[in-house]
Structure 1
Amino acid sequence: MNFMEKYELWLNSPYIDDATKDELKNIDHKEIEDRFYKDLEFGTGGLRGVIGAGTNRINVYVIRKASQGLANYVKRLGDNALLRGIAIAYDSRHKSKEFAYEAAGVFIANGIKAYVFDALRPTPELSYAVRKLSAIAGIVITASHNPKEYNGYKVYWEDGGQISLSVANEILDEINKVEDFNCIQYKNPECSKEEGLFVIIGQEIDTMYINDVQSLIINPHIIEKHSDDFKIIYTPLHGAGNIPVRTSLESAGFKEVYVVVEQELPDPEFSTVKSPNPEEHSAFNLAIGMAKGKNADIILGTDPDCDRLGVCVKNQKGEFITLTGNQIGALLVHYILSQLKERQKLPKNGIVIKTIVTSELGRVIAQSFGVDTIDTLTGFKFIGEKIKEFEEFSSHSFLFGYEESYGYLSGTFVRDKDAVIASTLVCEMGAYYKEKGMTIYDALKNIYEKYGYYSEKLKSVTLKGKEGNELIAKIMRTLRNNPPSKIAGTEITEIKDYEKGIGDLPKSDVLQIITRDNSVISIRPSGTEPKIKIYYSAVGKDGADVENKLKALTESFSAIIDEILK
């Protein structure tokens, strides 16, 4: 069926509401093609796309179809799986609550219990709830840090981690079998409370979750000592982090916690920022202004579903600077391992996990403490899978996991990156260094002096629509078939093609180029946005040297990409 046939099917279907049909009647031919030339892809994490009508958009019909496919897969597992149910959370985005209830309605109609949070919650708390409720699965309606036009449908399994590749493929098979809207079962959730299939959850899970977060604090006595003089500015960027982050910090003992009022309340327009992404420096403009007035020690910012954390600290001039995800990760690796070692609690089989596009600095730090580091593919789901594997085989003790895109995890009661946990640990770390007469920035400089100067940069090339997909494929194909021999005048010593399989990692559309001076370039199409992402990493003898190397690396490879796109 071509895109026009799909378009006409939606226009003529009695299942599609009039408002959706009116939206479709007012778009041009090119827009029709973009909305219907394919189905919105169900990847290893679920769905993510622009909100709107069409098969290549996210809307109630796409949500219902995905939920029916998931329900069909769960039903294959037997009656016990139905009773265990599916937990559902949602964030502050447009239609998040509506999509959550649409999904619940499908599950209920299929005889599956649906646990739905009473209001918006962080993604990591959904992971936690799946485990606490012994649910068979969980979903979060979120598009994480994407622009306001997006929403998504993220699927978790019984261990609290995102679904594995094999489970994702089986669910996708079930979704693809739902060829007709009439195959989708739906029942109003509010009408199912008496049957016991629709359960609202809230405070009881919140309390257990916050208590477990507190259990990860290493130096409570230092927090107590600096509870009145360690000042924290926090912005939830209009998302789900406001209550849980502040609750956790206050439970830990921090008394000087101030929220950016303009960004405190949920707002699906994210009206005070260009993008609700703590990776964007401009997202901290309001927070920095407030921090200057309060003479704060640190600034925290979380994305809409509160799984990513950005941090600003004072440099040696007293100016607030934004740390990168690699820097925050390295700082936390050093802090956690050094404190465990000091208390003689560092396990012999301890392990740190990072992704293949994350800086090698964390590995170097961990090695100095006698701790191994392993790499996973990009995406925190793979870190969660490793934690599960370690528990099943008692092979390693998980100490810390992180990725360069502002995702961090300590502890094992959550199986995804967690900005509530990370916020608490970063502030504890800040209080620890304040006790020593240092800032977090001072600690970072000490790490560079001891372990080497590392610097990284991410460049994303946005290529939208069908043509964009073709250009992204062209870039990857060209680099595989005709790779450069040198970059920035430095010989390439190795090219890793993860599509062919590297070690025990699953195959993935990622290329990694390594040069003689240990610079690394990683290239991968985004799984959630119309972008190709290029990660640059350089190592130098000092700050100026590493920045010069990074600049040359970026300019040289960008010219190669520009040539391919001509």
Structure 2
Amino acid sequence: MDNGLVRLAHSWLAQDPDPETRAELTALLESGDDEALRERFGARLEFGTAGLRGELGAGPNRMNRVTVMRAAAGLARVLGPGRHVVIGYDARHKSDVFAHDTAAVLTGAGLRASVLPLPLPTPVLAFAVRRLGADAGVTVTASHNPPRDNGYKVYWGDGSQIVPPIDAEISAAIDATGPVSELPLGSPADPAWVTLGEDVVADYLKAVTALPIGEARDLRMAYTPLHGVGGATLRSAFLSAGFDAPATVEVQAEPDPDFPTVAFPNPEEPGAMDLALELARRVEADLVLANDPDADRCAVGVPLPGGDYRMLTGDEVGALLGEHVIRQTSGDDRLVATTIVSSSLLGKIAAAYDVHYAETLTGFKWIMKAGDGAEDARTLVFGYEEALGYSVGSDQGLPVHDKDGIGAALTVAGLAAQARLDGRTLLDLLDDQARRYGLHATSQLSFRVADLSLIDGAMARLRAVPPTRLGGHEVESADDLNEGSGGLPPTDGLRYHLSGGTRVVIRPSGTEPKLKCYLEVVVPVTGEVSQARAQAVRDLDALKADLPAALGL
């Protein structure tokens, strides 16, 4: 066996407080499995702006109690004694253990820790940070990752996810942490360690039910939390707002860390919504809703003529919610924001209503920073990203400074109920937008790789030999986002502006071994909207056909 790996493994065993990962590592050492040791000790999970996320198991390249305690120690060192941190967690394997380990490390370092009372949606944690005036927040979740994963996300005192340089400071502090067995640890008996009551959930519900939902409430809904933690909170929110509780997929209603009925607990993945759509057909639902497992994202489905259903894209929901919020709010300082990979339609809607608009890098941590540095004061009233993430606000701004799948579901339901009262549907509202602004159709093409060097090679190839034509459209200009295009911070990505308003953005995924291509076509509506939609499908298909050769994948 590799003596270096063996020494690292024994050092890990000496500090690991978890009997499960100790047993796993001991068995690997006894088996002489060098490859398995190398997977766990040949690298480590990097702490970045998404915090930590990875597979459960022993070693620095896995999520485990040692990794989490080191992260908490790094956070404690950056914050300093006396600071206050709110801690939340979902229902994944070991989430509650990791949350309590975090509280133990923080209180042992002289900080105050307030722990949410049970597994709750991530937006409740983001809300609680500001509600309690805390200095930071931590939620233990891997969102929509596979069952064997877990993660660790850090929020700052403004209730939004951390951005550079805070992430680098915490990462450096983690590196400076010694064995976790030498860390002083607090306990639930310490005055600095508080388990919060459910009043914080009640405050969150009061905030989201005050969103611009409207007055209409007559709506039949089908819903799934996909075995996550959103079910009880969403039901309470809908009942508090005066809706009937949605019909819920029974076998997916309760939290289950194994996610037994889905191959991948992400409402965007093929098959994930099958049971919800089956329920919708059975109850003849006017609206289909889903949350991902930590309920910070919201998927929306609508009925089609003939009794079938289709899921709306994140960009379609973002455009509907964005225009709705703009119509329901007032003030010259209003700002709406989305990311560089989302549809350009929100910008056109904002211009039509004379509302400020901003584009940011991908991720809600950047959306929440939209308007920072502007000479005039601006109130962010709506933000969204195409990956089903939305934050809905009012004249007072956003109640949650992160994506919020509960507040978004409520607002979509209010919009759908009003449309139903008017004898219309969400599809009719989308057609209205197509007529006013042009039909904006978006899609994605992703390349999952086993070797990350393939992604580096594809990006290098595009920079060396940029395409001049894609999908029958001339490439009119290109932005290398590595150079900080348009005042944005540098990021690894390329953006191509093509004739006719077509746009292609290519970037490596920040959380998966994927190269992601975000496609948008704009088709003027001169006749029937259905004709423009058919043309958009053909245009998107043409782009998808050309991209593999351009990427060399």
Partner of 1:197: 192
On the 8 A contact 2:296/2:405 being kept in 1, the answer is yes
TM-superposition CA deviations, 1:475-505 (whole Å, max 9, x none) = 2222122222221232211111111111321
Deviation, 1:280, is 2.2
Going from structure 1 to structure 2, the CA distance change for 1:207 and 1:424 (only over 3 Å counts) comes to same
Partner of 1:557: 547
Deviation, 1:187, is 2.2
Going from structure 1 to structure 2, the CA distance change for 1:405 and 1:295 (only over 3 Å counts) comes to same
Deviation, 1:560, is 2.4
Which residue, 342, 356, 374 being the options, matches 2:340? Answer: 356
Which residue, 506, 516, 521 being the options, matches 2:489? Answer: 506
Instruction: Work out whether 1:444 is the aligned partner of 2:448.
Output: no
Going from structure 1 to structure 2, the CA distance change for 1:460 and 1:24 (only over 3 Å counts) comes to farther
TM-superposition CA deviations, 1:54-113 (whole Å, max 9, x none) = 2221111111111111111111xxx4xx2x421111112111111111111111211111
Is there any run of 5+ residues in structure 2 with no aligned partner, and where? 525-531
Q: TM-score, normalised by structure 2?
A: 0.93
Which residue, 411, 414, 417 being the options, matches 1:431? Answer: 417
On the 8 A contact 1:357/1:378 being kept in 2, the answer is yes
Partner of 2:387: 405
Deviation, 1:384, is 1.5
On the 8 A contact 1:287/1:299 being kept in 2, the answer is yes
Cα distance in 2 between the residues matched to 1:515 and 1:4: 55
Instruction: Work out whether 1:322 is the aligned partner of 2:311.
Output: yes
Going from structure 1 to structure 2, the CA distance change for 1:4 and 1:57 (only over 3 Å counts) comes to farther
Cα distance in 2 between the residues matched to 1:38 and 1:559: 33
Partner of 1:369: 353
Cα distance in 2 between the residues matched to 1:349 and 1:187: 47
User: SS where residue 386 of structure 1 aligns?
Assistant: coil
Cα distance in 1 between the residues matched to 2:443 and 2:354: 28
Within 5 A, what are the aligned runs for 1:537-556?
537-541=520-524, 542-556=532-546
On the 8 A contact 2:15/2:181 being kept in 1, the answer is no
User: SS where residue 165 of structure 1 aligns?
Assistant: coil
Instruction: Work out whether 1:485 is the aligned partner of 2:490.
Output: no
Cα distance in 1 between the residues matched to 2:148 and 2:483: 35
Cα distance in 2 between the residues matched to 1:243 and 1:387: 34
On the 8 A contact 1:63/1:103 being kept in 2, the answer is yes
Deviation, 1:379, is 0.3
TM-superposition CA deviations, 1:290-349 (whole Å, max 9, x none) = 1112111111000111100001101233321101100100111122223x2xxxx52223
Instruction: Work out whether 1:170 is the aligned partner of 2:169.
Output: yes
Deviation, 1:127, is 0.9
Going from structure 1 to structure 2, the CA distance change for 1:105 and 1:256 (only over 3 Å counts) comes to closer
User: SS where residue 271 of structure 1 aligns?
Assistant: coil
TM-superposition CA deviations, 1:378-424 (whole Å, max 9, x none) = 0000111236767xx76212221000000001222211000111010
TM-superposition CA deviations, 1:244-276 (whole Å, max 9, x none) = 111111111112522111101111111111111
- Deviation larger for 518-527 or 257-266: 518-527
Partner of 2:331: 347
Deviation, 1:189, is 2.9
Cα distance in 2 between the residues matched to 1:435 and 1:428: 11
Higher share in helix? 1
Deviation, 1:7, is 4.9
Deviation, 1:162, is 0.7
Going from structure 1 to structure 2, the CA distance change for 1:439 and 1:4 (only over 3 Å counts) comes to farther
On the 8 A contact 1:55/1:62 being kept in 2, the answer is yes
Going from structure 1 to structure 2, the CA distance change for 1:32 and 1:478 (only over 3 Å counts) comes to farther
Partner of 2:378: 396
On the 8 A contact 1:86/1:112 being kept in 2, the answer is yes
On the 8 A contact 2:130/2:158 being kept in 1, the answer is yes
Which residue, 192, 205, 209 being the options, matches 1:214? Answer: 209
Aligned CA RMSD, in angstroms, stands at: 2.0
Q: State the AA in 2 paired with 1:39.
A: R
Going from structure 1 to structure 2, the CA distance change for 1:253 and 1:526 (only over 3 Å counts) comes to same
Q: State the AA in 1 paired with 2:154.
A: V
TM-superposition CA deviations, 1:511-537 (whole Å, max 9, x none) = 112212322111111222222222111
Within 5 A, what are the aligned runs for 1:165-314?
165-178=164-177, 180-181=178-179, 185-187=183-185, 189-190=187-188, 193=189, 195-220=190-215, 222-223=216-217, 226=218, 230-314=219-303
User: SS where residue 165 of structure 2 aligns?
Assistant: helix
Cα distance in 2 between the residues matched to 1:370 and 1:407: 24
Deviation, 1:35, is 2.6
User: SS where residue 423 of structure 1 aligns?
Assistant: helix
> Could you tell me the percent identity over the aligned residues?
37
Going from structure 1 to structure 2, the CA distance change for 1:480 and 1:257 (only over 3 Å counts) comes to same
Cα distance in 2 between the residues matched to 1:182 and 1:206: 33
Is there any run of 5+ residues in structure 1 with no aligned partner, and where? none
Q: State the AA in 2 paired with 1:22.
A: T
Cα distance in 1 between the residues matched to 2:471 and 2:495: 16
* Aligned pairs, number: 536
Partner of 1:118: 117
